Structure 1
Amino acid sequence: MTSTAATTGHEPGKPTTVGGVVGAPSAARAAQLARRAAGGQDSAPVEITAPFTGLVTATLPQATDPDVRKVFGEAREAQRSWAARPVRERQQVLTRLHRLILDRQDEILDLVQLEAGKARLDAFDEVASTALVAGYYGKHSARILGDRRVAGVLPLLTKAGELRHPKGVVGVISPWNYPLALTSMDVLPALVAGNAVVQKPDNQTALSALWLHELAEEAGLPAGVWRIVLGRGSQIGDALVEESDYLCFTGSTPTGKELAAKVARRLTGYSLELGGKNPMIVLPDAPVAKAAAGAVTACFSSAGQLCVSVERIYVHESIREEFTRAFVAKTEALRLGGELGYGADMGSLTSESQLATISAHVEDARQKGATVLTGGRPRPDLGPLFYEPTVLTDVPETAELFAGETFGPVVSIYGYTDIEDAIERANDTTYGLNASIWTGNQAAGWAVASRIKAGTVNVNEGYSATFGSVALPMGGMKESGYGRRNGAEGLLKYTESQSIAVQRGLRLRPPRLVPPKLWTGGMTAGLRLLRRIR
């Protein structure tokens, strides 16, 4: 496996460093972004370290429960004037933001790498996704949110329509793994729908969210409409749940269940994107080289720390040996490294807890009889959180990683002979977030995809086809979540629908001098006629 050493120091004449990473935004710039967070003057700040080096990158203020409740009150005030603006005016902010994101991508690429430990190409996926989201809602929001006329109960006499009103103040709890993309997917549609947003990004990757916040205000978003608070869920989570008119959460399934129970007691809405144990099925007619290359991207992008990445591969026995050989070879050719550039194919993990979980899963599987075909070890020679991309086979059902989410650069290969068996095994999980099908026959791929119990399924792709198609809803089935982001659903969920009907002429109850039986007979005849007309 090719390796590229992480940069750990500053050389004379070279760019300044943050967290020991050459070329990263300056410490002054990191501090400037950190000051955009609300609250935290009365609590101890938290130091954040760079995954590549383990050195400090930023010191972040931490909000308290009273801070958060105060911020919600201020956001509620700001929301009223923002919601009063026409939708087309609000969506113009996103159109301008789209341009700014692409024009200034170099700094955010550095920030995402610095905070999350990603390879630069994986960081660019976040830039592209954010631009796509801003572009889509910047173009289509007015149409999706527009007043809708419908057929009234009595033609010509009943004027009926649907209006959409913003929820109010939306609480967004964002994870550490895709700090830019997931911020944009959740925050931008909430804003263009006329809401204010109070977001709590993960401390580890908060600078990326704060960077987008800065650009949004430069694009014309009024100050106070989108607020960012920093802190641990144990300290400020109750305030976020209790003050939000709608809650959007991305994270683990256990935490999602706890939040859903708390929100349910308030009878306010929520959406959740949770865990996954995503399968790939390789059909016997699949082009092996393309499927193997696609599997490398599907499994090891962002070091496997992606909710929709593949952790299980089912390959038809007729091509299993050939596929495995090609897949292992391509995996071993990946370049690992921690540089701010395109020199590495895979970066590091983001946290010590992820490294501990992944190491434990692989060792548990090995001890229970699994075979490690490649990888299976940390790489402290490159940096504190590097772990080799790992491929296993012969993983027994008793192993933790057989059914449990690993969330790292680890994948298991299984053989099958009957497609019905492969589909059943792919669906044999409590999760249902994403899946991937590889085949030489698109119609066959679509047919198999339609039988997979997952919110998104990609044919001849790992996850990018659905992830990048912003007009499509994205979310999980079963314990992988509730609700959808992206598309019309990802916008309408942040609104309350209101139905209005104006009745003219004929009443919907019999006049005083008309016998009820005669009136109901006439209405029955009319209902039969309406069915034919409509």
Structure 2
Amino acid sequence: MSEPTPASGHLVDGPFDPEHDPRASLALEPAYVDNLTRRIVSTTGARVPVESPLNGQPLARIPQSSTDDVLEASTRARRAQAAWAATSLDERAAILLRFHDLVLDRQDEIIDLIVLESGKARKHAFDEPMHVAMTARYYARTAHQHLDTERRIGVVPGLTRVEVNHVPKGVVGIISPWNYPFTMAVCDGLPALLAGNTVVAKPDAQTMLSALLGAQLLEEAGLPEGVWNVVAGPGRDIGPPLITGSDYICFTGSTATGKLIAKQCADRLIGASLELGGKNPILILRDASLEKAAEGAVRACFSNAGQLCVSTERMFVADQVYDRFVERFVARTQAMTLGASLEWGTDMGSLISQDQLDTVQAHLDDAVAKGARVLAGGRARPDLGPYFFEPTILEGVTPEMTCFGDETFGPVVALYRFHDEADAVARANAGDYGLNASIYTQDGDRGRAIARQIKCGTVNVNEAFGATFASIDAPMGGMRQSGMGRRQGSEGIHRYTETQSVATQRGIRFAPMFGMSDSGYAKMMTLNLRLLKKMGRP
């Protein structure tokens, strides 16, 4: 097929101008920033400037924490933990429900701050307060289901009472990324709080303000002092003391960093959950609704400018529909609007930083130099903002190209034909990652059967990623190099608890009684085991 002009005529012109946006001053007023940053445990006096990716202009100066500050935050959390764990489960749940309402009531403020810090389009920023509110409501409403003491089957029916308790770990360290700065900083901590833990959070340096607003709203919802603590600084400096002071670590970020954290946690014999990178595939089967698949593919590939762990970078399309699908997908991609604004109406915003822009450009340049073809996009857009890059579709990507197997984490997707579905599944499973996948087909049963063959922690049928990610009752996480552990559902709260079994014995003891010999005891127990099997007992 011919190569269209990359996204020409459809992009919003003009950089973000805070002087003409009535809400731009919200997060830029010094008093507002100071009110948020006072929550950082910091005695260093050092502050690091951060800029908005929308226009490259200064946004705030963030206080930095020292090693001693991190240890102090952990100490505060440990002092507060006993009283917090003793707080009734219903009261903890009520705080989450009040937090739910505050997030919805203050969503405009939250979204403004997310857009200013991350540069994403407003519609993608809206996903964050929505997801946080859903998470808070889900765990508050299911608190007793997950945390109440459970009765289990005792060894001797009627005489052995067994209960299982879910005891909080203690202090949970949460290290969150910049790409979803509000939801990733908060959502993993909500089940930790509900389970009776306290938190020390280290949000990414580029997006501290969104995370701090989450901490403020938790305070306003009634969270006691010391239960949620925030530190700031480079991970290489304050990550180790955070792990030292914690009883469990929750990390979202790159696979390379996740491996380092796993080693440090192993040295202390503490648990960790790690949601890491991905090179996520979509399969467009021959019976897919092409309009629905093309619409979903745009969201799968270009939400948050592709800076989403579960976004798609590899697309496998059946021969029978390839040309017709690609025509639709390219047209929808070309029609996307880009812009730097706090307002609704743009389809894609900015990359977060020069580093991300450099990675995207390097992957594209390498692919084109080795023979890949650009079907749409393919250009940086400094006229819109310092880190804008057009949504880009590539064809002819081969294994020697960097973007074939390495995560780009930007708005670049590669298209591949497939001849049969077994081949598509094998190619989707190739590589080291296994986070998210999508399958488009009009046969739901067939889609679900193929999903079982995909080595990914979440698989969406006829949806990009939202169906699994927004279903809070279902676990979300990665296989293989995409991580370990799960957020959401029962797994997402039980990771923050120790399972304790308590057995109360009545009537008999587990030893010979009434002068019975050891051999007689063994025969009696053997007879009882055979009897229990005949009775159908587990």
- TM-score, with normalisation over the residues of structure 2? 0.96
Q: Distance in 1 between matches of 2:340 and 2:33?
A: 19
User: In structure 1, what is the equivalent of residue 22 of structure 2?
Assistant: 15
**Given the alignment, which residue of 313, 323, 326 partners 1:324?**
326
8 Å CA contact retained: 1:283, 1:439: yes
Alpha carbons of structure 1 residues 114 and 278: separation in structure 2 relative to 1, 3 Å:
same
1:30 and 1:58 in contact (8 A); partners too:
yes
What is the CA-CA distance between 1:8 and the residue it aligns to?
2.5
CA distance in 1, matches of 2:98, 2:44: 36
2:15 aligns to what? Answer: 6
Unmatched runs of 5 consecutive residues or more in structure 2: 1-6
Percent identity, aligned pairs only, is: 51
Distance 1:508 1:74, change over 3 A: same
Counterpart-to-counterpart distance in 2, 1:143 and 1:92 = 15
Question: Which of 425, 428, 431 lines up with 2:430 in the alignment?
Answer: 428
Shift of 1:524: 1.2
Q: CA RMSD in A?
A: 1.2
Q: CA deviation at 1:16?
A: 6.2
Matched residue count: 527
Q: After superposition, where does 1:19-418 map in structure 2 within 5 Å? A: 26-39=29-42, 41-418=43-420
- Please list every run of 5 or more consecutive structure 1 residues that lacks an aligned counterpart in the other structure: none
Question: 1 CA distance for matches of 2:530 and 2:339?
Answer: 71
In 2, the alpha carbon distance for the partners of 1:436 and 1:72 equals: 40
Q: Is the contact made by 2:24 and 2:342 (CA closer than 8 Å) also made in structure 1? A: no
Distance 2:200 2:27 in 1: 28
What is the CA–CA distance in structure 2 between the aligned matches of 1:336 and 1:529, rounded to whole Å? 72
Residue 44 of structure 1 and its aligned partner are, at CA, apart by 2.0
The answer for the alignment partner of 1:479 in structure 2 is 481
The SS at the match of 2:490 is helix
1:272-315 CA deviation, whole Å, 9 max, x = no partner? 00000000000000011110110000000000000000000000
Structure 2 counterpart of 1:533: 536
Question: Partners in 1 of 2:514 and 2:407 — Cα distance?
Answer: 68
TM superposition shift of 1:24: 5.3
Measured after TM superposition, the shift of residue 25 of structure 1 is: 5.5
Q: For residues 352 and 187 of structure 1, do their structure 2 counterparts lie closer, same or farther at Cα, with a shift above 3 Å needed?
A: same
Q: Amino acid of the residue matched to residue 77 of structure 1?
A: R
Once the two structures are TM-superposed, the CA of residue 185 in structure 1 deviates from its matched residue by 2.2
TM-score normalised by length of structure 1: 0.97
1:386 alignment partner AA: F
| One-letter amino acid of the counterpart of residue 113, structure 2 | L
Rounded to whole Å, the distance in 1 between the matches of 2:68 and 2:28 is 32
8 Å Cα contact 1:17/1:26 also seen in 2 = no
Q: Where do 4+ consecutive residues of structure 1 move more than 6 Å? A: none
CA distance in 2, matches of 1:461, 1:280: 10
Listed one character per residue, the Cα deviations across residues 92-129 of structure 1 (whole Å, up to 9, x for unaligned) are: 10011111111110000100000011100000111110
Q: Which whole-Å CA distance do the structure 1 matches of 2:196 and 2:247 have between them?
A: 13
Offset of residue 57 of structure 1? 0.5
Given that 2:27 and 2:33 are in contact with CA atoms closer than 8 Å, whether structure 1 keeps it comes out as no
Q: Distance in 2 between matches of 1:28 and 1:119?
A: 26
Cα deviation code 1:189-210 (max 9, x no counterpart): 1111100100000011111111
Q: How big is the shift at 1:224?
A: 1.1
Counterpart Cα distance in 2 of 1:279 and 1:416 = 13
Deviation for aligned residue 1:518: 2.1
**TM superposition shift of 1:512:** 5.9
